[in-house]
Amino acid sequence: MKKKILTAACAFFALTALSTQAQTPIYLDKNQPIELRVQDALSRMTLEEKVAMTHAQSKFSSPGVPRLGIPELWWSDGPHGVRAEIEWNSWGYANWTNDSITAFPALTCLAATWNPELSYAYGNAIGAEARYRKKDVLLGPGVNMYRHPLNGRNFEYMGEDPYLASIMVVPYIKGVQENGVATSTKHYVLNDQELWRGHINVELSDRALHEIYLPPFKAAVVDGGCWTIMGAYNKVRGQHACHNEFLLNKILKDDWAFDGVVVTDWGGAHDTKEAALYGLDVEMGSFTNGLTSESEFGYNNYYLGDGYLEMLRSGEVPMSTVDDKASRILRLIFRTSMNIDRPWGSQATAEHAAVARTVGEEGIVLLKNSPVTKKGTPLLPIDGSKYNKILVVGENATRSLTQGGGSSELKPKEEVSPLAALKAVYGNKISYAPGYKAGRSMYGNVEPISPAVEDALRAEAVAMAQDVDLIIYVGGLNKNHEQDCEAGDRITYGLPFSQNQLIEELLAVNPNMVMSLLSGNAVEMPWVDRVPAIVQTWYLGSQAGNALANVLTGEVNPSGKLPFSFPKRLEDNGAIHYGQMSYPGDSINQTYLEDILVGYRWHDTKKIPALYPFGYGLSYTTFEYGKPQISSKKLLEGETATVQVKVKNTGKVAGKEVVQLYISDKKSSLPRPTKELKGFQKVDLQPGEEKEVTFTITPAELCYYNDALSQWVAEPGEFEAMIGASSADIKGKTQFELVF
């Protein structure tokens, strides 16, 4: 770390010297408008200094201008917690002793809360930890769409619906950036698979691009005000996304007026001239695979290094390109590392642990809760007085699920396992059998488990299950390669490590099973009809065990709703349905043949029911919906209408319900999905309490993208507003007409 210390020292002394001059330069005066500061600093810089700012100086830092007292920028993974310190010039961990943090739940879990207030709390807490660690840019959040259940990185994203992701991403960004730490919303755009991610070329319609894949990024820029955007590894229409003229110059910087910095994903640049001309501002990690490989090249050999400098000097590319890049980088520096008013931050506090636990509790989704016998009561919440012997089965009950997964790997100060939390509640009633063993497998380095070991673990668990009152199964996926992990997609929809066989054998000897599935993806469930109680638990971070235990015991009433559909069969998914060219492509090209019919749009429109639909989630209480009422049956251009519905808690315990508004266009010039999410509210209700939920509808909510006209269109005609508890559970409808 010597180089970092010397660079910082040079910046400090230069800043001190300049500050003692008779007149402080404009760029050093925090009271001056930021654009004046940017232009003043830019006017003092040499060409070489401008170019140096556009590429890395280490694995996770980029230069400032030490001569002018302008500090460097420090970048850090990731969206679920601030990553442990990485060495200056390698992917190895620096093994510091003061970089242990709070691990927050994965973003699939955050999306499953359907709670924007929690998204802000999450962002604010992680931003405080990044600030405490002296990071200037946090590489997240991720808002790529959940197109299919095989994407190894789905756990880092916010589900299959662009509206849900758009609403949830904005408060996260605002919460982080209030700490003077920039977010880097990623991966812009269409990085929807990890297989061949570095070169696969994505082809899709303008309509699918604008309706499905761009909206969360637009929300991040226009509504969230994010200060950086990270490009994707893949190509889009023949050009790499990290220097893509259409995506970066036309859409992001022109149409959306983005004034921040576009940064490559690590190793995402491929051409000097394209990088110069087509919207890239900072190049990081070149000549690596983004995860492990190293390069003998120096940082000046980056595409935006010496080669770029030569092109500028020769006139092959205009000077305006580097001035624009340097201006954006300076603006970012003034917002972050030169922002002397930003708070100090804090790390691994009790308050942050509480945020992580609450997000986990509200994100856990109760998928099924049935009695074992017809005359029995549902297994959940667990009544400890009924059970003398409880067997916990599954490696995920003890495995650290903050490790692995790629760049989102974390070093938590504390990580409470499900087994530890359940033992804290039930004491010596709990026994444990792993049942299976996964080993460690990162980036293809598989640690094999022999059949003999696998058979012995399964036999032990089944034998123990015969003599207990209740089984709590804690399994699912993990962060191994070809599961929920960067740089590789899943190769099967089923559970790995012979878990299906284990589950079937456990049920054969003891049907009293509560299943906790830890994953960031939907999984095949051949045993779904025989398991009485199932909770989708996600990756919950530091407070994983406590959040799960609180839900299973009824200390917390589950209120999560699925942010993506669980298909019954893999081929029931729209992207998979169309075969190889739709997913995964032919290794060179790929076409999104399902077009706009992603997720529930596919299941609804094609009448292929999901096993568990988008927006679905049960509770320990029950809710009754009234008949929705609309303020006007005719919606005029430029006006709004409101839809109101009463929701009542008809059960015996307090609970939260996510009330969802879907809109259906009854007749349009171009085909549209059966319905689309256009609003949601999470309401907290005491037993017997009733509240009225109000949604506002504007003509903008009724638009679709007409690619023949290259614009958003709202056509006059009949529409239907649907109030639902999920995309497949519509409680009431009301019709209205859009009139021009």
Q: Which residues contact 248 (CB under 8 A, 6 or more apart)?
A: 231, 262, 278, 279, 280
Report the distance separating Cα 271 and Cα 188, nearest Å: 18
- 116: phi then psi, degrees, rounded to nearest 5: -60, -30
Q: Which residues contact 612 (CB under 8 A, 6 or more apart)?
A: 367, 522, 562, 565, 566
Instruction: Name the 3-class secondary structure at 206.
Output: helix
Name the nearest CA neighbour of 544 among 520, 518, 514, 521. 518
Distance CA 172, CA 136 (A): 16
- In whole angstroms, give the CA distance from residue 656 to residue 499: 33
Q: How do beta strands 641-649 and 629-630 pair?
A: antiparallel
Separation between Cα atoms, residue 362 and residue 535, nearest integer Å: 12
CA distance 339 to 60: 20
Catalytic residue among 99, 136, 265, 604: 265
DSSP conformation class of 67: G
Q: Which two tokens stand for residue 645?
A: 């519905």
User: What are the helix (H) ranges across 45-161?
Assistant: 47-53, 107-113, 116-132
- The yes-or-no answer on residue 572 being catalytic is no
The 10 Å Cβ neighbour count of residue 620 is 20
Distance of CA 155 to the CA centre of its chain: 7
SS (H, E, C) 532-544: CEEEECCCCHHHH
CA distance 619 to 368: 10
What the block records as the tokens of 459 is 């036999």
**Residue reference for tokens 């006139």:** 315
Angstrom distance (rounded) from CA 125 to CA 119 = 10
Q: Distance (Å, rounded) from C-alpha 416 to C-alpha 423?
A: 11
Helices and strands in the chain: count of H runs, count of E runs: 18, 29
Q: DSSP letters of 664-727?
A: EESS-SS---S-EEEEEEEEEE-TT-EEEEEEEE-GGGG-EEETTTTEEE---EEEEEEEEEET
CA angle 217, 114, 148 (to 5 degrees): 60
Nearest to 566 by CA among 522, 603, 604, 528: 522
**Are the CB atoms for 610 and 566 separated by under 8 Å?**
yes
414: Cβ contacts below 8 Å, ≥ 6 apart: 348, 353, 542
Cβ contact 238:624 at 8 Å: no
Sign of CA dihedral 584, 292, 239, 142: positive
Q: Residues 616, 622, 626, 627: is their CA dihedral positive or negative?
A: positive
* Amino acid residing at 88: W
Query: What are 533's strand-pairing partners?
Result: 369, 514
CA distances for 297 relative to 53, 59, 199, 573, angstroms: 18, 13, 22, 43
Longest dimension (CA), the chain: 87
Which residue numbers are catalytic? Answer: 265
